Amino acid sequence: MNYRDYLRYFVVFGILFLLIYFVTAIKPLNKEFCLQTEHSVYLDNEELTEEYTGTFNASENKAYPFRLKEYAGYFTEDGKIIFARKIPFKATLSSYFQSFYDNNSESIEIKNIDGSVAATIKSAGFPFIQDDRIYLLPPGGNSISEYNLTGTREWTYESYTPVTAFSSSKKGSVIGFADGALVCLEPNGKERFAFYPGGSANEIILGADISETEDMAACIAGINKQRFILTSFDSSKHKVIFHEYLNSDSHSRSLVQFSKDSNYVFYRYEGGLGVVDCKKLKSTHIPLKGTVIQIEELENNNLSLVLSHEDNVFYLYLLENAVNCVGHFSFNAQSAFITATPSGFFVGHDITISKLNIELK
């Protein structure tokens, strides 16, 4: 090979090298989610009164409920506290109603967000408010009733064993019992179906949920060969469409929750979070620290926020497309919550509520 051939070879090689370099150099870097605290509010601030004192227009602003170890109340999307009060005994709140009560109450007041009385239930028990639906678990714990805004009982479902799981949606409600029965009711309280999932040495329902948009219900069933079960239903029948045995057993109540669009259903297991694709009927298992206690969705960012805790350490995980963990952080607290809003999300811990924004950079 003569000099000109060597020169031609190096020129061609050099051009190819430069082309490859420029192509790879201009390739976008992987984007990351960045968190930034917008502001914080402290609930022990003396300017925060225990009772509602301002004017809140529910038609113009959405109220987000919160509950911590010592405080409960509402705040707006811009972080303004509508009211915050110390919890005297127990409390249940939703974006529609609230109730503060004690174990010995013979009647229970259900209040609007502005503090006005919406209904009075003249029965003893433990109220549970979910969205605009009001339920009461009477003493004994083996039945559950729904009440309307006149304080009148709409329906009651009763069993001979205690209620161990309950959830409701526009589709109706689902109840789990200590004997392993899973019961699904229509919105009017009529039984849609009831069955015993079985398959375990000890039968019990430890968690359950019913979809907001689809005809599906899910539960965690049994101890010793514990399993997750996904059921579909229509007006005449129900069918188990997916189930799987878990590698380890939980002996406490377990979170089960459908995503807002019902494309996924999440469930807690010992050591992590299970995610079932309701269309493909496939599961993903995500190892997480602590016990999962809450899941929120940031629909604009296609993110799911998962809050877990172990002792006095809380962990917040960010899941993209429901199954890909893209980040997490931890903090020390005795109590905590997360709330998603269209413009970001809030993290509450002990006496502080902070708004965080997420950016993709």
Read off the pLDDT of each residue in 155-171 and give the average, rounded to a whole number: 97
Rounded Cα distance, 19 and 22, in Å: 5
Q: How far apart are CA 304 and CA 253, in angstroms?
A: 21
Neighbours of 319 (CB within 10 A): 25
Q: Which fold has domain 160-287?
A: Methylamine Dehydrogenase; Chain H (2.130.10)
- CA 249 to CA 252: how far, in whole Å? 9
| Contacting residues for 183 by C-beta, under 8 A, at least 6 apart | 157, 159, 174, 175, 176, 177, 191, 193, 194
What pTM was computed for the model? 0.87
Quick one: pLDDT at residue 44?
A: 83
* CA atoms of 338 and 316, how far apart (whole Å): 9
- pLDDT recorded at residue 59: 64
Q: What is the CATH number of domain 88-158?
A: 2.40.10.480
End-to-end CA distance of the chain: 51
Look at residues 86, 124, 85, 128 and name the one whose alpha carbon lies nearest to residue 110: 128
Confidence of residue 31 (pLDDT cuts 50, 70, 90): low
Assess contact for 64 and 337: CB atoms under 8 A.
Answer: no
Using CA atoms in the order 344, 349, 351, 353, what is the torsion angle rounded to 10 degrees?
0
Are the C-beta atoms of 348 and 331 separated by less than 8 Å? Answer: no
pLDDT at 322: 94
Q: Give percent of the chain above pLDDT 70.
A: 86
CB atoms inside a 10 Å sphere around CB 304: 26
pLDDT of 186-208, one tens digit each? Answer: 999 999 999 999 999 999 999 99
Mean pLDDT of the chain: 88
